[in-house]
Structure 1
Amino acid sequence: MSRRAAVLGHPIGHSKSPALHRAAYAQLGADISYTAIDVTVEQLPGFMAGVAEQPEWCGLSVTMPLKSAMVAEVDEVRGAGAHLGVINTVAFENDGGIPRRVGYNTDVAGIVGAVGYAGAAERPDAVVLGGGGTSAAAIAALRELGCDSARIYVRDAGRAGEAVKAADAVGLAIELLPMERAAEGIAAAGLVVSTLPPRAADGIADGLAGPGVEGGGGVLLDVAYDPWPSRIAEVWQRRGGAVVPGLEMLLYQAVEQIKLFTGRDVGADVIDVMCDSVGLPRRVY
């Protein structure tokens, strides 16, 4: 039987996940189709009820704004997702003839892989921009990178519950700071992870480009990859820092999803064709 997988979110037309997954399945010889489906938070329960009646499904990638809402639609959450309360992956498993929907958060591995490949130092002086669902994965990733603390810049501290919950879960001390102070605060950081939507960091970039802002040379991961380069990425690079596009994170988290959906290893040959599919340079092994 042909299997089926998809990425869900709203809006979803910009997603590069179909290109990455289709390239991988073709290289693996896996008979899995992969599409993008526009689903809102309100539509999610009905969509998942329909999926339960269709045995061909093997996996779902989950993007904004569904990462928290999807937790209520699965039978079990494993790994980092269980601590964070935020998932980006649903794998369909069969437990003794009983189908189960299992949630995971592969964004954490995606961030660790992307900044590691860019050469981020161990235990970096770290900053996260934004306090939503992706910030939870960023906080967990910082803990895996050896950080004991991080500064989190948010527009509204009252809406940073996911970041606070994640920090408590992984034992990372965080300081919530106002977004209007972010330009000065990130200038000398060793690692910055921007989880803001496209163009939402433009004002921070303008402040960073202004006179009297000192520092530079760290690593910036901007999870927003369309348009690219982002304004903050351009300014960061001009200041001597290393820039990691969000596509790098998307690549590494997709590798983990593909392993879950197929039950197979993902070797260098598969990663190379995935890179080709979205215009990333091939890895150096």
Structure 2
Amino acid sequence: MTATRLAVWGDPIAHSRSPQLHGAAYGELGLDWTFERVRVSEDAFDGVLAGLDASWRGLAVTMPLKERAWRASAWRDGRAELTGAVNTLVLPGADVPRPAGAAPDAVLGFNTDVGGIVAALADEGIAEAASVRIVGAGATSASALVAASELGARRAAIVARRPERARPLVDIARRLGLASEVEAFGGPLAAADLTICALPGGTILPDAHADALAAAGGPLFDVAYHPWPSHLASRWVDRAIPGHGMLLHQAVLQVRAFTTGSVDAPLASEDDVRAAMRSALMGD
């Protein structure tokens, strides 16, 4: 049986725009594939994954399952290895070439969030930043940190409610050759060329904390996009950029992975695919 089923997993998941994005892409490509939205908890992840049949081609994975997906991957791309987070799984039922070193039945894990952040910032004219502040210490923060490195950052500040939560990010920064420091909400903040907020959508910080970040941060890229403006964006002094662009560009990379087994080579009609996905996302 030809594998034609895909889905986005997360908890919660009702807000996800992935079905619209991917549906538009496969319609443009002439592929009769389905893309579902499925609520899966952390505890249930391994069992549900093991129960999938050969009709399943791949999964997009969102909060809080990215670390679970990393552990479930038998092969991972470089960005996934660096971050310890996977948001895209290509399953054994997918008839795609396998990377060197991957078994024919291996579950392939990719992190497309990093590339999504880099491409979204490029759309906004931001192609480099020497110093970056990351707000938050979860899996998406790890992707933001790797994206900062790809933008040429030499220094990264990590703002976390609990300093111990930032230790994995400090380790990633060390491996990337970045100088790093952990800052507390409400504490003194050094100036930064760019701030990337990786807090969940709907997070409300105390106004004093948000204002301190805004005063020190340069442009804000907030991975959240609903509701918009986020609380932090509403307090921002400089430009505040929502996460729609990240959502779009990381999904384009997922389409590459699901159709070709790689995120590196553009699709033959990628400009048309991206345009269809953008229209579906923005409702125009």
Common fold by TM > 0.5: yes
CA RMSD of aligned residues (A): 2.3
Give how far 1:171 is off: 2.4
- 1:194 paired to 2:207: no
**Cα separation, partners in 2 of 1:3 and 1:165, compared to 1, 3 Å:** farther
Once the two structures are overlaid, the 10-residue window that deviates more, 129-138 or 256-265, is: 256-265
Residue 222 of structure 1 aligns to which amino acid in structure 2?
A: D
The alignment of Structure 1 onto Structure 2 pairs a total of residues equal to 269
The DSSP-based 3-state class of the residue aligned with 1:232 is helix
Question: Cα–Cα, structure 1 residues 161 and 56, in superposed 2: closer, same or farther, change >3 Å?
Answer: farther
User: Whole-Å Cα distance in 1 between the matches of residues 161 and 209 of structure 2?
Assistant: 16
Distance (Å, rounded) in 2 between the aligned partners of 1:277 and 1:10: 23
- Give the % identical residues: 37
The partner residue of 1:244 within 230, 241, 245 is 241
Q: What are the residue-to-residue correspondences of 1:157-168 with 2, within 5 Å?
A: 157-168=163-174
**Distance in 1 between residues matched to 2:18 and 2:159, nearest whole Å:** 28
- Corresponding position of 2:72: 73
CA distance in 1, matches of 2:208, 2:283: 27
Q: Which amino acid aligns with 1:247?
A: H
**Secondary structure of the structure 2 residue equivalent to 1:90:** strand
- Alpha-carbon distance, 1:144 to partner: 0.4
Alignment of 1:228-239 (within 5 A): 228-236=228-236, 239=237
1:270 partnered with 2:269: no
**Equivalent residue of 1:193, what SS?**
strand
Select between 62-71 and 95-104 the one with higher mean Cα deviation.
Answer: 95-104
Q: Choose 117-126 or 25-34, whichever is displaced more.
A: 117-126
Paired residue for 2:263? none
- For 2:189 and 2:137, locate their aligned partners in 1 and report how far apart those are by CA, in whole Å: 16
Structure 2 residue matching 1:185: 3-state secondary structure:
coil
1:45-64 equivalences under 5 Å are 45-51=46-52, 54-64=53-63
Q: Cα offset for 1:2?
A: 5.4
| 2:139 alignment partner AA | G
Q: Is 1:253 aligned to residue 257 of structure 2?
A: no
Aligned partner of residue 9 in structure 2, secondary structure: strand
Q: Quick one: structure 1 residues 97 and 153, their matched pair in 2 at CA, closer, same or farther if it must change by over 3 Å? A: closer
Give me the whole-angstrom Cα distance separating, in 1, the residues matched to 2:205 and 2:166: 21
Residue pair 2:13, 2:39 contacting (<8 A) in 1 also: yes
Q: Which runs of 4+ in 1 moved over 3 A?
A: 93-98, 205-210, 213-216
CA contact (8 A) 1:133 1:163 kept: no
SS in 1 for 2:7: strand
Greater share of residues in strand: 1
Paired with 1:17 and 1:56, the residues of 2 have a C-alpha distance of 19
Q: Which moved more, 1:163-172 or 1:11-20?
A: 163-172
C-alpha spacing 1:160/1:208, structure 2 compared with 1 (3 Å): closer
Per-residue deviation at 1:180?
A: 2.0
TM normalised by structure 2 equals 0.87
Q: 1:97 to 1:149 in 2, by over 3 A?
A: closer
Where do 1:1-285 residues align within 5 Å? Answer: 1=2, 3-51=4-52, 54-92=53-91, 93=94, 98-181=104-187, 185=189, 188-203=191-206, 205-209=207-211, 214=215, 218-236=218-236, 239=237, 241-263=238-260, 265=267, 267-279=270-282
Q: Is the 1:139–1:172 Cα contact (8 Å) retained in structure 2?
A: no
Deviation track 1:189-229 (CA, whole Å, cap 9, x = no partner) reads 321100011232432x554448xx8567x321111221112
Q: Which amino acid aligns with 1:254?
A: A
Structure 1: any 5+ residue segments left out of the alignment?
none
